[in-house]
């Protein structure tokens, strides 16, 4: 069962149906007048426009869970954010960011339509919007992928203590992660560091760039991925791959990649 969320101080607390934790502040449905003034949307049709309130950071909430959206809204508004919209799928999220240009986007990694894919695209197109990713899962790999795709912070829905502080810190440019995730993230990053190509002394001489390309080629990255990682054009990557193959005495990038796997520390 998908958990519902209630508010305890500035934390979002998952609660079972019918339960009410001590000192947990619940919320009432917004009035029709308040809802009419909202830019909240379901499916991408954003009506009207937000009333401008200079000096308040703006927040867009993208999550399929209406109870989480409502709880996040209450927490954020209590901390001074102006919530300019609520959306519940990837397409609506893209449209809302294009229209509203929020200071912060709080987006669920499991958002229908590829939440993490939305993060990558919006991070490139709208660098002024800070992205904080949420997820029902505590696994550090989700957090790592979110960061790699351009997010500035990550909050597990089951451990959302201090959501307002997380949003505010991210909005101020501080990367935010749960402290408990750091050891796992460090281990993951270390396993992802490329192994250096080690060749017998005096046999094959490679330039620094050829080594860079070779390491990524060996690890199975495509030409486009290598180009993006190293900031090169695909033509330049193909040229280096061709040179590597020639120096290794093989034909083609695939053969070069196989040969290089035998020369790693």
At 197, the pLDDT band (50, 70, 90 cuts) reads low
For β-strands 58-62 and 104-108, DSSP reports them as parallel
Where would I find the beta strands (DSSP E) of the chain? 4-8, 11-15, 58-62, 82-87, 104-108, 130-135, 153-156
According to the model, what pLDDT value does residue 211 have?
81
4-188 classified as CATH 1.10.10.10: no
According to the model, what pLDDT value does residue 14 have?
53
Answer whether residue 21 shows pLDDT above 50.
no
According to the model, what pLDDT value does residue 198 have?
56
pLDDT in tens, 98-146: 999 999 999 998 899 888 889 989 999 999 999 999 987 766 677 777 8
According to the model, what pLDDT value does residue 66 have?
92
Q: Which fold has domain 208-260?
A: Arc Repressor Mutant, subunit A (1.10.10)
In the chain, what are the domain boundaries?
A: 4-188, 208-260
pTM: 0.57
pLDDT in tens, 136-180: 776 667 777 788 888 998 888 866 567 888 888 888 888 777 777
CA distance 242 to 219: 17
Q: Residues 117-126: contacts with CB within 8 Å, 24+ apart? A: 117/90, 117/149, 118/62, 118/90, 118/93, 118/94, 119/146, 119/149, 119/150, 119/151, 120/149, 120/150, 121/94, 122/93, 122/94, 122/97, 122/150, 123/149, 123/150, 123/151, 124/150, 126/97, 126/101
């Amino acid at each position: 069962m998908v958990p519902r969320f209630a508010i305890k101080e500035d934390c979002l607390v998952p609660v079972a149906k019918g339960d009410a934790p001590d000192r947990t502040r619940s919320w009432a449905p917004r009035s029709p007048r308040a809802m009419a003034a909202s830019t909240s949307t379901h499916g991408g049709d954003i009506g009207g426009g937000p009333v401008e309130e200079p000096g308040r950071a703006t927040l867009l909430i993208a999550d399929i869970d209406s109870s989480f959206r409502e709880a996040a809204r209450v927490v954020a508004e209590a901390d001074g954010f102006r919530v300019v919209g609520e959306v519940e799928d990837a397409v609506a999220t893209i449209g809302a960011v294009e229209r509203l240009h929020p200071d912060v986007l709080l987006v669920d990694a499991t958002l229908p339509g590829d939440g993490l894919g939305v993060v990558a695209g919006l991070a490139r197109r709208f660098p002024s919007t800070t992205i904080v990713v949420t997820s029902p899962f505590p696994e550090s790999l989700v957090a790592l992928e979110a960061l790699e795709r351009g997010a500035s912070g990550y909050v597990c829905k089951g451990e959302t203590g201090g959501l307002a502080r997380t949003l505010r810190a991210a909005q101020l440019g501080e990367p935010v992660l749960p402290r408990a995730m750091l050891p796992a993230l460090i281990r993951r990053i270390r396993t992802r560091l490329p192994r250096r190509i080690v060749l017998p002394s005096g046999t094959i001489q490679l330039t620094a760039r050829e080594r860079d390309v070779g390491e990524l080629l060996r690890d199975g990255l495509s030409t486009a991925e290598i180009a993006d990682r190293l900031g090169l054009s695909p033509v330049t990557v193909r040229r280096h791959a061709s040179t590597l193959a020639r120096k290794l005495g093989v034909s083609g990038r695939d053969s070069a990649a196989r040969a290089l796997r035998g020369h790693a520390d």
